[in-house]
Structure 1
Amino acid sequence: MSRFQWSAIAICVLLNTLDGFDVLVMSFTGKTVSGEWDLDSGTLGLLLSSGLAGMALGALLVAPRADRVGRRPVILAGLTVAAGGMLLSSASQNWQQLATLRLVTGIGIGAVLACSNVIAGEFASRRWRGLAVSLNSTGYAVGATVGGVSSVALIDHCGWRSVFLAGGLATLAVIPFAFWFLPESLDFLLTRRPANALERVNSLARRMGQPVLTELPHFDETERTADRGLRSLLTPDLRRPTLVLWGAFFLVMAAFYFVTSWTPTLLVEAGMSSTQGLTGGTLLNLGGVFGTALLGALAARYALIGVLRTYLFLAGALIVAFAASTDTLALAFCIGAVIGVAVNGCIAGLYALTPGVYSARLRATGVGAAISVGRVGAIIAPSAAGWLLDADWTPLALYVTTGVVFAAAALLLFAMGPKHPTAGAALTTKPAGSVC
């Protein structure tokens, strides 16, 4: 791994940091927004879900374009859309406007998240690919943590609109940085071969300490599976792993976004102050910083899918324990931080697992589709939680159900099968065309 490869991954981590702030800003401002506009739990759930709906659309409809036009231009476009959505959200006058703008912001974020994970994996060597993608997810947890910490101060002094404004300005500021320093995917250049592909490949090769090429490697034109779009994900050789990944993403993201979106609010309803509720949500995200990094380190040594299953079972058990500990502030905060380690690691594990299933020509499409299916669960979960609370469900019942969902996802991964590459190694399959 050259310094240039690590720097490319670091830029992806930075992009995910901004996305983590932008995605979860609604969960940190939800209680204040709800109080100002006198919203019920169901309406607040719709606000929490609207950004996730946009992320699903961005991952499903925009991210696959990266397999045709390149990862870099799709990321730059997504950043621009996300920045505009955040800035306009700070000026919204009612919940309908805010929900629409959260949808727009989510479209941009969904495209960036899918493509940045693909680039991080493609610039990593086979041994460190799991760590690279996990570190990318660490950026998301860092952004969510910064969002929680800054939200406490910004809401107290400037109101909830200032949180959206800060996120929008930060996203806007990083666009020129990404324009100058974010490289195009080497795998994309080798397989799609846009204009001046050989010169661009050699430029990257020099920066990576690799020998230059006199001509592009031969590529079998029959492998142009990306041209068939989403249908190519369900061909006989990919159908089983694709469906398993879709099911796992759906379950894990539904559980994850219920926990991250509702925990600050439910802690307040359990008797804590608003500041204590935000602190609890922040600790959960802070634990995610360590959880994603730890998963990546373990994936460099052990089979990634086995590490991921362990994380999923652990997350399920911890969430049930957390729900039973809210009467004791210190214990709840401690368990909340450990839950952050587990649940964020589950998301990072799925992100790391998915790129190794698909070839370079289909990778952004495959990752985007899996994330999009996951977002369906993420959209349903916050809104469903709001409706269930209105129907007199207790927070304990919701958390126990969430624990069961994590355990179900762990069991589902056993269906990946021992013959699949991701079941026996930490993403050691070398992608088509890679010289990393």
Structure 2
Amino acid sequence: MNLRERIDTSPMSGYQWLIIALCVVLNALDGYDVLAMAFTAPGVGSEFHLDGGELGLLLSAGLMGMAAGSLLLAPFADLFGRRPLILLSVGLATAGMLLSATSGSATQLALWRVLTGLGVGGILACTTVIASEYASRRWRGLAIALYTAGYGIGATVGGLVAVTLQSSQGWRSVFLLGGVLTGVVLLLLAALLPESVQFLLTRQPRNALARVNTIATRIRQEPLTSLQGMADAARPTASNRVGDLFTAAHRRYTLLLWVAFFTLMFGFYFVNSWTPTLLVSAGLTEKQSVTVGIMLALGGTVGAILYGLLTSRWDSRRILIGFAVLSGVAMALFISATATLALAFAFGIAIGMLVNGCMAGLYTLAPSMYETQVRSTGVGWAIGIGRGGAILAPIAAGALLDAGWTAGTLYLAVGTLMLVCAACVALSRPRSATGVAVAAGV
């Protein structure tokens, strides 16, 4: 068997789990960044005298940067390697966080938020691929689930840190700490993160054999004697352009994946941004609605890990479809359940678990849809299109509420979108004959 097949079928080594842990930390940076901005928004708005619309644009700046990073930076990882792009992206995020702390105006802060988001978008496109490629077939679902759970961990820590720090040191200290922590992570990555084995085998950059064998030794695999023939067997006819995602072999799966990511991220960000406000309108007190919001976050962390554990025994695609269908049903019933507080808490936990489990599932599925040479491009663009849904969700929900929609109608509509996501996943199973990687082993 070749090295890729051995990684798929062998027990996971400590070094492989270390790589997964680094990816979890990188995703936690996303969570810290998003929640840090949300919690510091009142202080920022007060200092710069911003109205609601201006503050909303500032909150969206980071998400816009993330979308741009996923779309624009990801293709370079397929040309020059996952590791260099990750290091560059983390460097951009570090600079963006540190510069945010020095902002003298809302315009400057928005610019640095876009820069931070650009880095985070590039990180997410590559770390999803790295985590997937270094996990064995049996534990790939759990590895991606742990990676996904990193967002919730970073968000929780980011929120707690923001509340504590800004009360004594001001909102700038939150970004300063984030920049310092991101810089420390950059140093750890430079020392510990390897290049993608699959990239080295197929692209064969300078000293590829020596680099592959160093990695093979670390993951307790026999070294290779030659790379001859491996590049020719795997090299595609296209040349790492976005257009490669629309060749005959990829077109259908690319479009289905884009719709799945868009609908899922729309639902994810709708639930996380609007639930407390809509629950108040449905009759809960502000304190009760915040508690349900916490239930969503806690359920999300559990749900991502639960998804991963289930995939170690059963087909990951079917579990993802099940999670998506159940999340749609739960959303449709959610508002009617608020008549009983305990039931509202239970539904909050369930929705958080299911939606985050879906996110873990799509992150697991996406790399399996593409060969090595277009994998980061494919994943990056899918995440970037999904970020469009994330940006649109809060804006669309607000506009629909102004147009007279009720909370129950909104949740029913978003629940329907989750069913669309499930349908796209069901239709996106690649045909092995096309050369597209199958879900069982990227």
TM-score by length of 1: 0.88
Q: Give distance in 1, aligned partners of 2:115 and 2:283.
A: 34
1:287 maps onto 2:278 in alignment: no
Are the counterparts in 2 of residues 287 and 341 from structure 1 also a CA contact under 8 Å? yes
Aligned partners of 2:303 and 2:354 also within 8 Å: yes
Letter in structure 2 aligned against 1:240: R
Pair 1:50-2:61 in alignment = yes
Question: Are 1:80 and 2:91 matched, yes or no?
Answer: yes
- Relative distance call for 1:234 and 1:354 in structure 2 (3 A) is same
Q: 1:380 aligns with which of 344, 368, 392?
A: 392
CA distance in 2, matches of 1:89, 1:47: 12
Q: CA RMSD in A?
A: 2.9
Letter in 2 for 1:428: A
Structure 1, gaps ≥5 residues long: 432-436
Moved more, 15-24 or 26-35: 26-35
User: Are residues 1:179 and 2:190 paired?
Assistant: yes
Give the structure 2 partner of residue 367 of structure 1.
379
The range that moved more, 385-394 or 298-307, is 385-394
Partner letter of residue 319 of structure 1? M
- Aligned pair 1:240/2:252, yes or no? yes
Q: CA deviation at 1:356?
A: 0.9
Q: Give 1:52's aligned amino acid.
A: L
2:328 partner SS: helix
CA contact (8 A) 1:118 1:363 kept: yes
1:115 has 2:126 as partner? yes
- The one-letter code of the counterpart of 1:238 is H
1:434 alignment partner in structure 2: none
Larger relative contact order (CA 8 Å, sep ≥ 6): 1
For the residues of structure 1 that align with 2:340 and 2:170, how far apart are their CA atoms? 30
Mapping 1:25-64, distance limit 5 Å:
25-30=36-41, 33=44, 42-64=53-75
> Which residues in structure 2 correspond to 1:107-256 (within 5 Å)?
107-218=118-229, 219-220=231-232, 223-225=235-237, 227-256=239-268
Aligned partners of 1:130 and 1:353 also within 8 Å = no
Note if 1:336 corresponds to 2:352: no
Equivalent residues of 1:304, 1:426 under 8 A apart: no
User: 1:243: how far off?
Assistant: 1.0
Task: State how far apart, in whole Å, the 1-side matches of 2:166 and 2:407 are.
Answer: 25
Q: Note the 1:381-396 alignment, pairs <5 A.
A: 381-391=393-403, 393-396=405-408
Instruction: Please give the alpha-carbon distance, in whole angstroms, between the structure 1 residues aligned to 2:206 and 2:253.
Output: 34
Kindly tell me: are residues 169 and 271 of structure 1, through their superposed partners in 2, closer, same or farther at Cα, counting changes over 3 Å? farther
Residue of structure 2 in register with 1:319 after alignment: 331
- 2:8 match: none
Structure 2 unmatched runs, 5+: 1-11
Deviations 1:366-410 (A, max 9, x none): 111111111111121122233344555444443332222112211
What is the CA–CA distance in structure 2 between the aligned matches of 1:318 and 1:162, rounded to whole Å? 39
Shift of 1:224: 3.4
**Contact 1:127-1:427 at 8 Å conserved across structures:** no
Out of 7-16 and 26-35, give the one that drifted further: 26-35
Distance in 2 between the 1:399 and 1:135 partners? 28
Superposed CA deviations along residues 226-275 of structure 1, whole A, max 9, x for unmatched, are: 62411111111111111111111111111111222333555567787877
Q: Structure 1 residues 128, 164: closer, same or farther in 2, change over 3 A?
A: same
Q: CA deviation at 1:14?
A: 1.4
Cα offset, 1:280, TM superposition: 4.1
Q: CA deviation at 1:217?
A: 4.0
Offset from partner CA, 1:146-180 (integer Å, 9 cap, x none): 22333443454444444333322221221111111
The aligned amino acid for 1:410 is A
Amino acid in structure 1 at the alignment position of 2:331: I
Q: Give how far 1:352 is off.
A: 0.3
Q: Which moved further from structure 2: 323-332 or 348-357?
A: 323-332
TM-score by length of 2: 0.87
TM-superposition CA deviations, 1:52-78 (whole Å, max 9, x none): 211111111112211111111111111
**Partners in 1 of 2:39 and 2:325 — Cα distance?**
27
Match of 2:6 in 1: none
**Counterpart Cα distance in 2 of 1:278 and 1:90:** 28
1:261 and 2:273 are equivalent in the alignment: yes
Counterpart residue number, 2:13: 2
One of 65, 85, 89 as aligned partner of 2:100 = 89
Contact kept, 8 Å, 2:369 with 2:438, in 1: the verdict is no
Would the aligned equivalents of 2:296 and 2:349 in 1 still touch at CA under 8 Å?
yes
Post-superposition shift, 1:420? 6.3
